[in-house]
Each structure stands twice: as structure tokens, then as C-alpha cells.
Amino acid sequence: MAGGEAALTAQRVELRRDVTTWGSYTWGYADVGADIYVALGLVIGASQGGAPLAFALAGLVYIMIGLAYTELASTYPVAGGGHYFTLRGLGDFWGFVAGAALLLDYTIDIALFATASAGYINFFSPLIFGINLRDLTVSLGPFREIHWVWLLETMTLISILIWLNIRGIRESSRVNEVIGLVDILLEMSVVVFGFILAWNPQLLIRQWTQEFPTLQQFMYGSSLAIISFVGLESISQAAQETRRPATVIPRTSIALIFTVFIFAVSFSTVGLGILTWQEFQLNQADPVARLAQAIPFLGVVAGPFAAVLGATILFISANTGVMGSSRLTFSMSQLHLVTRWLDKVHPRFHTPIRTIVVFGGMGALEALLSFLTPSALDTLANMYAFGATLGYTLVFISLIKLRFADPYSPRPYKVPLNRVITWKGRQVEFPVLGVIGTFGVSLILFEVILTHQIGRIAGPAWVLLCCVYYFWYRRRSGYPLLGNVPHNWEQEQIDVLTSAQEYELLEQYKAALARRDRQNGGKPAPTAREP
């Protein structure tokens, strides 16, 4: 190991536990709740009259994903989320692959939602300047019609978010909490008043029966619909900074799961009862604002309200992307998957400053490159689902594996549909829902690879390049390329539960280990690696 990394290994740094119950909920809502403002136009444009079904099917898979994350994040309340769960269950290499896939999503999250936030802000530019600033373009050599004002607005928003996250989780979480509450109320208003004042069930039925998409169009639309629900990872990413995570995470995750599912299905259902799918396709930059504007009597107020709603919730979703990417790489560096240089913590603010700057900058670069294509939003959205579905597939497999490999860690919440089986002389609760969820997410991943022209190339290329770096780093550092670095998972779990002040769970864990040792004749099982 290089001398600099050896010095950094000497002392394990910790993140500050400042996230409250409401903060945990709004971290997740900021990411998941914002997705509908981008996905609504894209999904309806692709799946046409079948959009409510596309949202509902993707939502059912999302519910299973959410329940799996609830169990794992409350059991292992550390920064890292899906990559950490995969590393615990499947080993270092697959843990890195899961981290690379989720890191792709987080950096695109920054780029996509900052771009979309600026798009909703520009809803007001015709009223102020007499022209939509989104439409101002310039051509540079082979790159035609670059929306330069929109690009500058996006870069400004990303710079603000990087500054907020360097200041600390307390400050950036407070942004989520305040804006999140306002946006939840505004979302409810758009749905309720849309149904009461404007909804036409005959229009919905006509589009369902006469303009239902082809199978390929529906597959493309339903695979895009999964991006309406990406973001539950954010709650587990903040677990190491959440107060009493074993208590808080199950409450906030389950509340978030059903809140967002209801909103996603409601928006698509009310939307196709007010506007045609072609109108959504033409207004993909600000679909929710256009929907609200179509509400009789209230449209003159509801349209601007919805634009503010979209701009603010997308802003805090991009903020969640900065937070998630920094915490993810912070965890990966401490687990010897990437260089320890990345786990540098700011001496004053106690935040992972290097990862915030590096991956916030990467999100800015992705935004810049997307603006060189014909449609920045479409380009970013095509890549977004690949990382999520690949990462979630590995998480489901890890959920199943950890039930066998680590039956001793207390699980404050368990996914439903468990069947007790006997495995190597002991009883194990086998998660049937994990198998169903693996199939559901794998099906969406197949749809992404089959129907997304950009995603099926750029997504695997990203993972492949990351793997090249992984093998280079592991070889340079003297770690096994496909093997595992030894970890004392039991001591780490004790340290985590102690740091989280989950003393009751800590006692349960120690008691379970003691029972295991007695069954082994008083000899503790090897703790260098689980499994």
C-alpha cells in the first residue's frame, strides 16, 4: 500500500449524525418525489395512452425495491447504501460494480435535475423577457443549436449545490426540509384540483382504448417510468448521519414508498384526463407546469405554482445527487474499493470535501456534454435507468445472500413474504419477496438494454471503464483483484450500532453472537470475512 494511503488508514473518520426523522424523509422525497417532474412528459410521450399502467407496473417494482432497502439500511446503518449491502453479501468486486452503477445514477441525478430545474425556472421567462430563454441557441462547429442560456443556468445551480454540501449535511438537509414540505403541499393541490375541476374520464378512456402503444413503445415507456422512483438509495446513503437510524429509517422509507407511488400514478391518470399524450410530448421540459396551467379557473395561478414546485423540488433532488455521490465514494474509499484520497473530511464542516468537488464536477461535465446533443433531457434520461436497475438487481441478490451469511445482525424491519427453511443445521427466514423483486428489476433492466439506444451503450461503457480503474487500483495497492480484503464485520457492526446509539439492538447482536459461539463449542467463528 502506498505510504499516503497507509497514513490515512490509521484513523477511521466518521460523518456527523445530524439528519432527523423529517430530514431523512425529505432526503428521499427530494430525490424520488422530483422524478415525476422529469418523467411525466417522457413516459407519457413514449407509452401514450398506456402511461398509467406503465407508471403502476414500475411502481410495484419500486415498492419491492423500497422494502428491500428498508430492511438493509436499518440493519446496516452506514454510508454507502446499495454498494455496501452488495459488498457484504457478494464480495468486493460486485460491491464495486454496484457502487459504479449507483455512482452513474448520482452524477446523472446532479446533471439531469439541475437541467430540469433550470427548465422549470424558464417557464417564467416569456412573462419577464418576452421570450423563453430555453429557446436561445448558438452553434459551435459540428454542435448545432446549443441552448447556452439554459446551460449557464444549469452550471450555476450545480455550483450552488456543491457549496451547500461542503458547508455540511445540516445546512443542505435544512434546504430539503423547508422546500420539501412546500412541494408536497403543492403536489397535492395540483392532483386534487386537477381531478375536481378539469378531469375528463372519457378523454382518459379514449386514449387508453384508441391510442395504446405498441409492445416496444410500452416497454420503452415502462423502463423510463422506473426513473420516477429512483432515489430511495438516498435514505440509506444518509443512514450513517441519521439519528437512531434503526428506528427512523423504517418509518421514513415506508412513508416515502407509498407517498411517491400514489403521486406518480395520480399524476399520469389525471394528466391523461386533462391533456392528450401528444401535448405532454411537446412539453417535456415542464410537463407538470403545463398540466397545472390547463386546470380551469386556477390555471393562471396553478401553472406558475407548479413551475415553482418543479424548479424547487428538482433543485433539492440535484442536491441529493451531490450528497449521495459524495457519501457513496466516501464509503467505497474506506472499504478499499477506490483510493483513500477520496475520504478526506473537511476539518471544519466534517464533510467529504474531495468527493463533493470531484463528483459534483463530474455531474457538471455530464450536463455540458448532454447539451451538445439534440436534447439534453432525453440524453440524460436514457442513461438514468441503467445504473439504477443494475444496482437494484445486485441489492436484491444481496438481500437473499445476507439472510444466510449474516443471520445474527438484528433486523428492525424485514420484508414481507418470508419462509422459514433449514440451512446447514440452522433455521433461516428465506425472503420470497427478494426473488420476486430480483425478477421484476431484471425485467426492467432487460427493457432498458433492449430499447434505450444511448443507455445500452453508455451505461455498460461506464461500468467497464470503472472496472478497469478498479483492477488498476487493486493491483497498485496490493489487494486481490477478484478476492476480498479482510474485514472484521462483527466488530464494525458493533461500532456502527454503538455510534448510532442503538443500544438495544447492540445487546441483541452480542447475545446472538454469544449463542453462536456456544453452539460452536465456545470458539468464535472466523470474523475476518462474512460471508
User: What confidence score (pLDDT) does residue 272 get?
Assistant: 96
* Residues 86, 98: Cα–Cα separation, whole Å: 7
Q: Under the phi-then-psi rule, with left for phi > 0, alpha for psi from -120 to 50, and beta for the rest, what region is 522?
A: left
Q: Under the phi-then-psi rule, with left for phi > 0, alpha for psi from -120 to 50, and beta for the rest, what region is 244?
A: left
What residue segments make up the domains of the chain, in order of their start? 3-485, 489-531
Helix (H/G/I), strand (E/B), else coil: 439 = helix
| 3-class SS letters over 328-349 | HHHHHHHCCCCCHHHHCCCCCC
Return the ∠ at Cα 285 (arms to 381 and 106), rounded to 5°: 35
| 3-class SS letters over 68-123 | HHHHHHHHCCCCCCHHHHHHHHHCHHHHHHHHHHHHHHHHHHHHHHHHHHHHHHHH
User: What confidence score (pLDDT) does residue 12 get?
Assistant: 44
Question: C-alpha distances in angstroms, 101 versus 23, 92, 136, 295?
Answer: 25, 14, 34, 40
User: What confidence score (pLDDT) does residue 34 get?
Assistant: 78
ω into 531 cis (within 30 of 0): yes
User: What confidence score (pLDDT) does residue 3 get?
Assistant: 42
3-state helix, strand, coil in the chain (%, to 5): 75, 5, 20
Beta bridge partners of 143: 140
- What residue ranges in 390-505 does DSSP mark as E strands? 418-423, 426-431
334-347 tens-digit pLDDT = 888 988 777 677 67
* Residues 263, 271: Cα–Cα separation, whole Å: 12
Calculate the CA 380 to chain-centre distance: 15
User: What confidence score (pLDDT) does residue 283 get?
Assistant: 85
DSSP 212: P
Calculate the CA 28 to chain-centre distance: 8
pTM of the model: 0.83
* Residues 477, 290: Cα–Cα separation, whole Å: 54
User: What confidence score (pLDDT) does residue 376 get?
Assistant: 84
C-alpha atoms less than 13 angstroms from C-alpha of 189 in its C-beta half-sphere? 18
| 3-class SS letters over 141-210 | CCEEEECHHHHHHHHHHHHHHHHHHHHCHHHHHHHHHHHHHHHHHHHHHHHHHHHHHCCCHHHHHHHHHH
Superfamily of domain 3-485 in the CATH hierarchy: Amino acid/polyamine transporter I (1.20.1740.10)
Mark the ranges of the chain whose per-residue pLDDT is less than 50: 1-18, 170-172, 526-531
* Residues 415, 436: Cα–Cα separation, whole Å: 12
User: What confidence score (pLDDT) does residue 30 get?
Assistant: 62
Whether residue 96 contacts residue 466, with contact meaning beta carbons closer than 8 Å, is answered with yes
* Residues 63, 392: Cα–Cα separation, whole Å: 12
User: What confidence score (pLDDT) does residue 487 get?
Assistant: 86
